[in-house]
Amino acid sequence: MIRIAVLVSGGGTNLQALINAMQEGKFPHASIELVLSSSDTAYALERAAKAGIKTAVVRRKDYVSQDLFDLAVVTTLKDHDIDMVVLAGYLSILGPAVIQAYPERILNIHPSLIPSFCGKGFYGLKVHEEALKRGVKVTGATVHYVNEIPDGGRILIQKPVMVQDGDTPEILQKRVMEEAEWIILPEAVRMVSDALDKGERV
């Protein structure tokens, strides 16, 4: 069984989509064993507790350097025998030490069709604000592997979402979550965990 850690920073809506999928048996070869948060007030921690999943908090501000923070993250993951990592609304930057500890085993969900509206500074509502400002007719979400370049890892799945007249960033954000993120993130986790269980890579 592939042991997954989900890294979070806020409300945990994508975490909830993963918990629901796991409880519905959609990850036959994987289980979420840890939810690691960059904030001790993240509601995602409550979601994890309700599902009986262990939690941990590792805050960047508690460490004097990026290297020490990365070491704390890796140590926490290794202490829980984690095989695979999923970033679900995780706002802290992971350094090379974390990425090298889990090569092609860290997934991220991004709320646009990469390479549009991605990279440093593009997260949360900002992505949808920029999409509407640019006047795109189609947006969506992307699941990709994490490497040292923000949103630069190999793409696994993308799903388009139509932009509608009268959309605000908040309305568009909700539609992208419901029509794309909550669908393709569990599917990507299934794909990668199934492959890892067989000793393969996607």
**Amino acid 93: pLDDT:** 87
Q: What span, in angstroms and rounded, lies between the C-alpha atoms of 148 and 152?
A: 8
Catalytic residue list = 110
At residue 132, the pLDDT reads 98
Tell me how far apart the alpha carbons of residues 100 and 58 are, in angstroms, rounded to a whole number: 19
Query: What's the pLDDT score for residue 201?
Result: 87
Domains and CATH numbers, the chain: 2-197 (3.40.50.170)
CA-CA-CA-CA dihedral for 151, 142, 187, 95, to nearest 10: 10
Sign of the C-alpha dihedral, residues 112, 24, 85, 58?
A: positive
For each of the chain's 202 residues, which pLDDT tens digit applies? 999 999 999 999 999 999 999 999 999 999 999 999 999 999 999 999 999 999 999 999 999 999 999 999 999 999 999 999 999 999 888 999 999 999 999 999 999 999 999 998 899 999 999 999 999 999 999 999 999 999 999 999 999 999 999 999 999 999 999 999 999 999 999 999 999 999 998 8
Nearest Cα to Cα of residue 4 among 36, 33, 28:
33
Q: How far apart are CA 104 and CA 123, in angstroms?
A: 22
Alpha carbons 200 and 182: distance in angstroms, whole number:
25
Q: Which pLDDT score, from 0 to 100, does residue 88 have?
A: 96
